[in-house]
Chain A
């Protein structure tokens, strides 16, 4: 930190050091004392003033810190003799940034850089400011200035990267790239290049302009020697040659790479691409994607004639054969998998030979069938086979598996592969219930039988055969889906919990359990397993989809709050620090990383999950505080009254959204957070549904964000409506004029209705019909909450609008006080009727009830609080005048009725919830009952057989298992587990009940207040 001559920011370092030390050791009070006393000596030193601001900010005194910062800024601008060094400015910058005023720091640097135009430290600081602002043009200009001052390669490269960023983000075209190229060319001519990264940027710049030949020249010239790893250079060369269309030379290069890296699968594919000249947009997309797109149809990708194609294939086969011969060990898979790839390419060309492909697959199985990755290795090749051949292949693999290995671990590996392969082929769907059951039994038996193999393993290490239990769970859930015997879910849970009792670190089991417990409505258990995964940092973005959607519909607000808070904090922290890390990459001359970091930040900023979590977090705060209008108003103020969210809703249609969730880990029955096959009838599910599912997901998510983002603003406007309607006097038709609120609210309601697929007036018509019992609430479908929200907010709008009455007539009348309450009651009653049996109760159905209670019903109670607050003033005098107004009296009686109706609705829900909890107390009506029957008698085709295997193992007390596993088995307690599930279910009911009770208390208090009028 210290600069020359022991001075820091112009102050002797020995005087400043104690302050730094105090800050580093977080003794801020002491630091403030020290800095204040030093200020006495140097009252005009911008550095000391900045230090004071820094200390104040760390103490949480933001306002004071800002004002001190501004005075330091003022000193810098007004005092010509003030020292403007990077230390002072960077200290100021830190504080300004933490206070959310980075722009002020930029202006300080701009001022300083203008004053000392040859000071590189200041210019670099300024460049960093522009990196923070993502001002690529200004970055470029500043870097060029630095380059002019110092002629250093790195500054030129900073400018070039800034240009590339402008182009990547759509603000500049060919001319800019040409400019960058010109600058680099000139520099190379006079100074050469000295960093491999600089060369990489040069080449990427040429590639961006399709100047592949030119890039090749550069690479093979003197500059090429900058790349010290020969293979790296060859990879670039191969790519460039292919892009120039010189496939022959490119193939030669790839052969060279494969000779030194025979296991490089990507390289092998590029090699075949080049030999077969099969892709004009070479290198931009992996071949898997392209082939997936055409679904392995009999089409020719290659433009070659038959003879040339055959000769190229022969060359590839010979080369691959040579690679195989040269291999010294049997771990390298690529040259063997290459046989399959060659066959697949032939198939794509229309010259496929299924028999040969089958033989190659079997050979590969002989060699690598015991590996856990066998099935994923061969997936894409098996897809080429016809259905009959797939069945034939499976039979052959079964036959082979018994002959291959006698080594127990290897034999186990082969058996697992067979099971996995069967699941991959989708054979499960063709099996009878009995067949499925036998399969699950076999898997679990095999797991138990092979436990002794793992007895000496470290408890941290994966055990042999862990996958068997995952697969058994999948089969058991399939059985549940087919038979609707709830016990199969319990069997699946037992299998997984049993596995975790033996080794508690298997994350695959935990994820499955999270989904199963969520499905049963025992969300707190699901959340416990989630916590045990210790998901943090970037995994919050990729893994939390396994729990977040379920939590959003649950009444476990504290846990949900933690989940959302941790996730948003991680994302926001990254957005704050990302620019500094980008600058670090610039400083360390890793230019390509600087560009990558900017793109990555953009990707996270556009994360659908992030955008949704921001809205959900706001809605959660509102829900949690809906019992207190003042609190809600405070929250809304912090949310800028929901204005930002409305902007988000308006722009979401054109915004690019990213989906960063890692969906691979999800169970088969819920491939995305929005899909749950268990809720629907048994039917054909596509084995590779990814593309369609993703498109559907994207469309759904856009709609969801568009819709939900309107809520905070609608709540805010409704509160305003409800608050002015009494305060400012009621007009003849019962509404007051606040044209701004009214017209904005109308727009939002129209927008909201449009998202539901209706014009507002038609939507109100539908609501009216449901309200009068002409049609059922089923008409709302999955959007029930949104419909009821629309009803509640429309009613609030009515208070503030003349227009409503006109629409009301057209729309067959909906929106009176009474209507909304009737609708709310009807929705709750119909929902309660629907949810009858807690055992088979799907959590999603119950979630709708929770959301009805915690969203539209709560908003309604919140708005009534507003009416009462404004109609029952606190002062005695006001009270008198208010009660003198007859229209207020009329309204207060309406509100009174409304409160009574809402109380009744909540009481219905509470009665049902209490009843459910009571049912859970009786064994015969809960899981424990099901469990007892599973234990007592096991029939074929009924749940329990798998569970019995676990019981048998535990009671056998086998000595072969070693102390650790035996000890774990002794601690296995399925009865306790069942009790835990039941209490998990009860927890959700109890929590919902307590929310209802709190709403009733609020309503009763309002009733009291209103009776004062």
Chain B
């Protein structure tokens, strides 16, 4: 029961039940609106009956040459709608847009190294741990940079794991 559509500003006023979850960050307005203004096709919401917000995904497409890729900035699902593959559907849509419309080479995302449930879920969706980013979260916790190759990366070069961890300063993109 998932109607997936573009996220719009009014949804910001309706996503409290999703964002009150302590693992879901509520960003400042310019963050959301910059994503909406620049990558509206990478920001989607899943709605259930009665127009209830089930979850949403926000992301972008960026990079140069073979680093041209889709990026998942946040994906979250309300407790009421968990274990129904809502996140998977949202991720698939972002991957499809990256693959078909923007012809990106891969999709990547960052996840807290301690967030085992999320890591497991991303692995199920075909993501591999590409590299570890040391002290990425507020200078404390490491992030795992996970990637999934898209059809344009025929040889799957983008997902060959790096041998050593990197520091946030070495990241190509924020």
Contact = CB atoms under 8 A, between A and B. Distances in A.
A431 B64 CA distance: 66
A455 interface: no
Contacts of B12: 538, 600
Contacts of A664: 16-17
The number of chain A residues touching the other chain, given as a range, is 35 or more
Given A537-B26, A543-B16, A267 B50 contact: no
A263 B47 CA distance: 11
B81 A372 contact: yes
Nearest to A599: B9
B138 interface: no
> Which of A372, A534, A541, A603: most chain B CB closer than 10 A?
A372
Interface string A558-601: 00000000000010011001100110110010101110110110
A507 B3 contact: no
B123 to A, nearest CB: 15
A286 B101 CA distance: 30
Contact of A665 (B17, B21, B80): B17
Given A460-B23, A543-B20, A584-B37, A376 B49 contact: yes
Contact of B33 (A229, A265, A597, A599): A597
Interface string B69-83: 000000000011110
A973 to B, nearest CB: 23
Nearest to A372: B80
Contact of B117 (A332, A458, A533, A573): A458
Nearest to A231: B4
Contacts of B22: 460, 505, 507, 534
B40 A593 contact: yes
B85 interface: yes
B37 A337 contact: no
A372 B79 contact: yes
A660 B29 contact: no
Contacts of A228: 100-101
Given A264-B2, A267-B3, A372-B80, A593 B36 contact: yes
Contacts of B84: 331, 371, 373
A942 interface: no
B51 interface: yes
A3 interface: no
Contacts of B37: 581-582, 584-585, 588, 590, 593-594, 597
Interface string B4-19: 1100111011101101
Nearest to A381: B49
A584 B20 contact: no
Given A460-B115, A537-B28, A590-B40, A662 B16 contact: yes
A266 B52 CA distance: 11
B38 A588 contact: yes
Interface in A253-284: 261, 263-267
Contacts of B33: 578, 581, 584, 597
B38 A584 contact: yes
A542 B16 contact: yes
Contacts of A660: 13
A984 B101 CA distance: 58
A537 B14 contact: no
> Which of A380, A466, A533, A537: most chain B CB closer than 10 A?
A537
B34 A581 contact: yes
SS of B interface (majority):
helix
A337 B34 contact: no
B61 to A, nearest CB: 12
Contacts of A286: 51
A574 B29 contact: yes
Contacts of B47: 265-266
Interface string A948-983: 000000000000000000000000000000000000
A261 B29 CA distance: 32
Contacts of B101: 228-229
Contact of B29 (A371, A458, A538, A584): A538
Contact of A662 (B13, B27, B51): B13
A462 interface: yes
Contacts of B21: 505, 507
Contacts of A261: 4
A539 B116 CA distance: 27
B1 interface: yes
A585 B36 contact: yes
Given A228-B101, A264-B2, A537-B28, A597 B9 contact: yes
A593 B49 CA distance: 25
Contacts of A263: 1-2, 89
B49 A539 contact: no
B60 to A, nearest CB: 11
A379 B50 CA distance: 9
> Which of B19, B34, B85: most chain A CB closer than 10 A?
B19
B3 A266 contact: yes
Contact of B13 (A265, A541, A570, A599): A541
A458 B22 CA distance: 13
A536 interface: yes
Interface in B81-123: 81-82, 84-85, 89, 97, 100-101, 115-117
A5 to B, nearest CB: 26
B50 A380 contact: yes
A373 B115 CA distance: 25
Contacts of A334: 1-2
A684 interface: no
A372 B13 CA distance: 23
Nearest to A574: B29
Nearest to B32: A538
Contacts of B27: 537
B7 to A, nearest CB: 10
A196 to B, nearest CB: 9
A536 B24 CA distance: 12
A110 interface: no
Contact of B20 (A332, A539, A592): A539
Contacts of A593: 36-37, 40
B10 A373 contact: no
A261 B51 CA distance: 17
Contact of A462 (B4, B40, B79, B89): B79
A461 B117 contact: yes
A691 interface: no
A377 interface: yes
A542 B29 contact: no
Contacts of A665: 16-17, 20
B63 interface: no
A577 B117 contact: no
Contacts of A537: 26-29
A388 interface: no
A288 interface: yes
A333 interface: yes
A515 to B, nearest CB: 15
Interface in A510-562: 533-534, 536-539, 541-543
Contacts of B1: 263, 265, 332-334, 337, 377
A337 B50 CA distance: 13
A943 to B, nearest CB: 29
Q: Which 8 A-B pairs have the closest CB atoms?
A: A585-B37, A600-B9, A507-B20, A266-B3, A662-B16, A584-B37, A581-B33, A333-B1
Given A461-B117, A537-B28, 14 more contacts: A264-B4, A266-B5, A377-B48, A377-B49, A507-B22, A533-B20, A537-B27, A537-B29, A581-B29, A590-B37, A590-B40, A600-B12, A664-B17, A665-B17
25 contacts: A228-B100, A264-B3, A265-B47, A265-B49, A337-B49, A373-B48, A379-B50, A458-B116, A537-B29, A542-B14, A542-B16, A577-B29, A578-B33, A581-B33, A581-B37, A584-B38, A585-B36, A590-B37, A594-B37, A596-B8, A596-B9, A600-B9, A600-B10, A600-B12, A662-B16
Interface of B: 1-5, 8-10, 12-14, 16-17, 19-23, 26-30, 32-34, 36-38, 40, 47-52, 79-82, 84-85, 89, 97, 100-101, 115-117
